[in-house]
Every structure is written in structure tokens, then in C-alpha cells.
Amino acid sequence: MRLKYLFSVLALITLTIWGTVLAYPDKKLHIIACDVGQGDAILAVYGNFQILTDGGPDNKVLECLSKHMPFWDREVELVILTHPQTDHFTGLIEVFKRYKVDTFLVSEVKSSAQSYEVLKKAVGSTPARVVQPKEGMVIRLGLIQIDILHPSESFLQQGSRDLNDYSTVYKLKFGDFEALFTGDISPRIIGELLAKNAIGPVDYIKIPHHGSRNGTTLGLLEATVPKLAVISVGRKNSYGHPHSEVLKMLKDLGIEVRRTDEMGDVEIESDGKGFKLLNP
């Protein structure tokens, strides 16, 4: 009886180990729009590399990391904070406390939020390399390439009263697959990027500012002609996001839409050619 029990325990341990091994990241690129409520947190995983863009309004991002990263991997190669608003940076405080972060990409812009000082202190207590994003910067992680499109040097010198305008905008390339990440940029910044022909067709777009009326423009969607638009937004939020006009624009252009308030985590995988939704 005891021997039978021992074999059962060993079998359970073996299944657990193999389940963990099978959960290890494959050779495809995975992009997960984490369900963090009314905020942004996007995780990109390729092999042993992880890129986390924003951390949401609380610690829900930790659930996303633990779900989509092996439990033994406590290192995030790149963390990007698009701009210092609480719905984008709050979750990063615990990320820096619990994970080793190699590089932190963040603009040198002030925030009135007291908790931003807590984040800066958390970052300062780690060996993470802090880098300011600027237009033209290129970052490579394995087969992933990140092209920074905004902010430009001229914008940083001129500045803006709207923190959203400081949002880091970048294009992620993986083979022939391209994705555009937009933070909370306003129509003003979108117009400037379009005027410079900095934005072109992509496969995937993170809709600006949670689908708000003052975020997405028809020009942006016509220039990018994405196959998939992802909206990171909280359920029954008080802002009315995503706005009906934005949803209508997407529908009229035949762009497929996925929302975190309706689906939870929205995950796609790409082999460098096309991509597919893992929770269609």
C-alpha cells in the first residue's frame, strides 16, 4: 500500500515537472495584453527574453507575469514605461521589487503622482540600467527589434502640458511581423508621426489611450491598416472607454478587435511570418 502511494506521488511529481517544462517559452513571439483593469500592461515573450510595457494601476500585472513566464525565470530583460501616469506605472513598483530588470526605458518627465517617487526609489535600489527613449533609437533582443518612433529630440525640448504626449511609441519587429505600441498618445502626436511618415502598415496595434475618443484617429488606422487592434481597458469603467466612435471606425475599416474587458488576457503568437490569436 505504501509502495503504491509512493508511485502515485512520484507520478504526480513527474507530471508537474513535465507540465512546467512544456510551459517554457517556445521559439515563437508571444504578445499578451494583460488584463489589469483600467490601465496598460503588455508582455512580449520570445524564448528567454521578456519585454514588459507598462505595469497597470495595481499589482494584477504580477499575475500576468507568473502566468506567462516560467516560475524559475525571475528576470525581465526590458521594462518600458510609456509615460508616468498611475494606470501605467503603479504595478511596476512590485515588478522591480520581485524581478531582476536589466534595462528600464523611461522618459525623464516629472509626474505629480506621489507614488511615482516610490517607483523611482524601487528602481534606484536595483542594478537596472535606466535609458531615456528617443526617436531613432533601435533596441535588439534576440530576433526582436524595437524601433522608437516618439518622443523626438525636438519634442522633448519643446515639451507639452499633457503627460500623454510624452508616451513612448515604438514598433516591434519579429521577422515579417510588426506591431505598433502607442501608449496614450493624442491626435496631435499621431498627426506629427503621420506627417513624418513614421507610421506605416502593421499587423497588430495597441489602440491609444484605452480606446478613448481623443486617442485614435482615422488617419492612424488608415496608415497602419492593422489586422488586429487590441484595446486595454477596464470593465464598466467610469470613462466610457472604449468610445463608440473608435469602435465604429474599427468596424467600418474591417479591423478585428479584441478587448481585455471582454476577454481577459489577449494573447497572440507569431512565427515571424503571420500570427494567430491564442484565445479567439
Q: List, in order, residues 6 or more apart from 156 with CB less than 8 Å away.
A: 107, 134
How far is Cα 143 from Cα 71, in angstroms, rounded to an integer? 23
Report how far residue 171's alpha carbon sits from residue 179's, in angstroms, rounded to the nearest whole number: 6
242, 211 Cβ separation under 8 angstroms: yes
pLDDT digits (tens, 9 = 90+) for 148-171: 999 999 999 998 999 999 999 999
Q: Residue length, the chain?
A: 280
Q: For residue range 129-150, list pLDDT tens digits in order.
A: 999 999 999 999 999 999 999 9
- Edge-to-edge strands, sheet with 138-141: 138-141, 144-150, 169-174, 177-181, 204-206, 228-231, 256-259
Residue 205 scores a pLDDT above 70? yes
Please, which contacts does 17-20 make with residues 24 or more away whose CB atoms are closer than 8 Å? 20/70, 20/71
DSSP-derived pairing of the beta strands 177-181 and 144-150: unpaired
Q: Which CATH class is domain 26-277?
A: alpha beta
**pLDDT grade, residue 16 (50/70/90)?**
very low
What residues does 204 pair with on adjacent strands? 179, 228
Of the pLDDT bands very low, low, confident and very high (cuts 50, 70, 90), residue 2 is: low
Report, as an integer, the average pLDDT of 266-272: 98
In the chain, where the domains are located = 26-277
pLDDT score of 6: 43
Phi, psi at 29, each rounded to 5°: -85, 130
Q: What is the pLDDT of residue 280?
A: 73
pTM for the structure as a whole: 0.91
